[in-house]
Structure formats: C-alpha cells, structure tokens
C-alpha cells in the first residue's frame, strides 16, 4: 500500500528512512508516474494516451495521478524538458577551457548525440509530436535551443578563423550537422543492429563531416585530440 509522504522533521523522515519504513517519498511517486507515462507515450503517442491508462498501469486511481500532475500535458512536457535542457547544454564549456575551438565542436556534437540516446525515448518526443506543446513551453524550448546554436556557431566561426573548418553560413551548416539527431526517432532502436557506442561514433562522425571536420579513430598526437580538418588551407604540404 502506498503511503502519502509527511513533512520531514528528523533523520527518520529522510527519503532513505521513509523507504525503509515502506513509505514512498513524493519524488519517487512522481518518477513512477513519469516512467509509466513515458512508456505509453512512446508506444502509442500523446493523443492515444490517457490519465486513466497511466493510473491503470500504476495500479492507482486517477486522483492519485492528478495529485502530482495537473494534466496529461504537464506530464508530457515534464518528460520532455529534462532531455531538452541536457541536449541543448552540449556546447557549454567552462570559461577557462583553453582547448582549440574545433576540439570543442567535436566534443559538443558527440555530447549531443550521446545525451539524446541517454534520454531515449523522451528526447524524441519533440521531434515526433511538436504540435503537442503549449506556446509557453515552445517559447522556452526555442530560447535554450538558440543558446545552443549561438554557442555552436561561435565555436565554428572561431575554428574557421583558425583554418580548421571550411563553410559559408555557420547557422545553415550547424543545422545540417545537428540534423543527424533529429531523424533518430525514425529508426533508432535500443536493441538494433548497431550498439549504442557504434551509433554515437557514426553519427558524431557524420555531424563533424557536415562542418568539414573529420575525427581520427586514433589520435596521432595530443595536440589535435583525434580531429583533422578537411580544409586544404589548413594542411601543411
């Protein structure tokens, strides 16, 4: 039987102690709802998923679900938000990171691919059903997406100035490179032919090639961190 959480007043009321007494903390209950909802949304889509189905899968009542979430919309957007923030933070680097720009670009693109797979299937929801989100959610999503592309484009321009990349329009090129992630929801399966690491490697390589950067499988020196340019101007003869 699930027991509603009381307000913590001592060590005895901390999450670990409550679990030991058979009391499920609030955060665990919310996570339980999100996990079931994520599975249903991924399997049958937003429109075909109901609060009643989520409650039935959990073995609870609809009011129980509504106690933690005001609507199906809130559940869907809560599931989508965590991977959205994680993916669009892929180009954030420490201010004192002095590595060359093209190395950061390569690492950031790999982070983007890896993070998207880490958050399967909820990371795919914005690509599958973009029409579902509220205008407020979409505006906030656009804000952090713009932050990501601003960071990426700035690094790409710096790498081009360093002679490591060769492209014309940074925004168009950045969108093309990151497009490899946008189509994952069409074909990615965790139990597919390629392993997760193989997919990360292949898609990162494809994204890097789109911006004129080729990653070496085995770096020949520490200075280039496994990357080489396809810009002939940057190669020594």
Question: Which tops the pLDDT comparison, 97 or 220?
Answer: 97
How high is the mean pLDDT of the chain?
86
CATH number among 3.40.630.30, 1.10.10.60, 3.10.580.10, 3.30.70.260, domain 24-74: 1.10.10.60
Is the distance from CB of 209 to CB of 230 less than 8 angstroms?
yes
Q: Which residues pair with 228 in a beta bridge?
A: 214
Q: Categorize the per-residue pLDDT at 26 as very low, low, confident or very high, splitting at 50, 70 and 90.
A: confident
Would you place residue 24 in the very low, low, confident or very high pLDDT band (cuts 50, 70, 90)? low
| pLDDT score of 27 | 84
At the topology level, CATH places domain 81-234 in Tetracycline Repressor; domain 2 (1.10.357)
What pLDDT was estimated at residue 214?
Answer: 72
Question: How far apart, in Å, do the first and last CA atoms of the chain sit?
Answer: 74
Looking at mean pLDDT, say which of 76-80, 182-186, 227-231 comes out highest: 76-80
* 10, pLDDT greater than 50: no
What does pTM read for this prediction?
A: 0.79
Domain positions in the chain are: 24-74, 81-234
The stretch 139-156 carries a mean pLDDT of 98
Confidence check: pLDDT of 149 > 60: yes
Per-residue pLDDT, 13: 47
Q: What is the mean pLDDT of residues 106-112?
A: 97
pLDDT at 107: 97
Residue 213, phi then psi, degrees to nearest 5? -125, 130
CA torsion, points 155, 160, 165, 167, in degrees to nearest 10? Answer: 100
């Amino acid at each position: 039987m699930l027991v509603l959480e009381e307000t913590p007043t001592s060590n005895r009321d901390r999450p670990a102690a409550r679990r030991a007494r058979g009391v499920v903390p609030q955060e665990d209950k919310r996570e339980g709802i999100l996990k079931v909802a994520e599975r249903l949304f991924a399997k049958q889509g937003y429109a075909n998923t109901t609060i009643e189905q989520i409650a039935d899968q959990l073995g609870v009542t609809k009011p129980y679900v509504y106690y933690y979430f005001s609507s199906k919309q809130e559940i869907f957007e809560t599931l989508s938000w965590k991977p959205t923030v994680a993916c669009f933070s892929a180009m954030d680097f420490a201010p004192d990171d002095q590595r060359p720009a093209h190395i950061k670009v390569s690492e950031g693109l790999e982070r983007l691919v890896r993070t998207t797979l880490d958050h399967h299937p909820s990371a795919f929801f914005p690509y599958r059903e973009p029409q579902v989100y509220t205008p407020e959610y979409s505006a906030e999503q656009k804000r952090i997406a713009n932050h990501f592309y601003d960071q990426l484009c700035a690094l790409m321009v710096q790498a081009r100035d360093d002679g490591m990349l060769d492209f014309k329009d940074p925004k168009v090129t950045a969108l093309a490179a990151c497009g490899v992630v946008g189509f994952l929801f069409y074909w990615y399966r965790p139990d597919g032919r390629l392993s997760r690491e193989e997919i990360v490697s292949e898609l990162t390589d494809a994204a890097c090639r789109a911006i004129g950067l080729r990653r070496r499988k085995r770096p020949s020196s520490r200075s280039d961190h496994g990357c080489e340019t396809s810009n002939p101007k940057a190669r020594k003869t």
